Amino acid sequence: MACALICQPVAFNWDRTIPGGQCGDYHAFWLASSILGAIFDLILIVLPLPVFWKLQLSLRRKIALTVLFGLGFFILAITIVRVIYNEKVDFEDLTYTAPPLVVFTVLESTLGIVAGCIPIMSPSISRVTNVLKSTFISISRVSSTTKHS
């Protein structure tokens, strides 16, 4: 919403020929929103970690949760890189300067969705890995018996 309302009148966002139109500071807006996002990400990553380690879970589960939150740290690093690229964007020539920013924005969102889905997908991933293991073991047994015959 704020992105659409940064220019007055709103149509000035896409039609810079409107007389009397003006826009706020795009860089300041995107910088502030990116920094706030990074701070919230950091809080959401760090806050639950001590709680997980105090729960009565197996060490394997605790490590798995920590690795999952490690993905959150990786996403936070991407957010920081996105903030750096934000400063390099020329809003008068977006087609030339925005692609790296867009790549990091999409990567950040995509990995956030993946991180959110991993706990729910865990049983399915376990089944697939078990099927793959049993298939690999069966294939290796068949190949070893045909070599000895």
Question: How confident is the model over 83-112, as pLDDT tens digits?
Answer: 888 888 887 788 888 898 889 989 999 998
The residues of the chain scoring below 50 in pLDDT are none
How many domains is the chain partitioned into structurally? 1
pLDDT value at residue 31: 85
20 inside domain = no
CB proximity list for 9: less than 8 A, separation 6 or greater? 18, 21
What domain range is 78 assigned to? 25-131
12 inside domain = no
pLDDT value at residue 147: 59
Phi and psi at 7, nearest 5°, equal: -110, 145
Reduce the DSSP state of residue 131 to 3 states and report it. Answer: helix
Tokens of 2: 């704020």
pLDDT value at residue 143: 65
136 inside domain = no
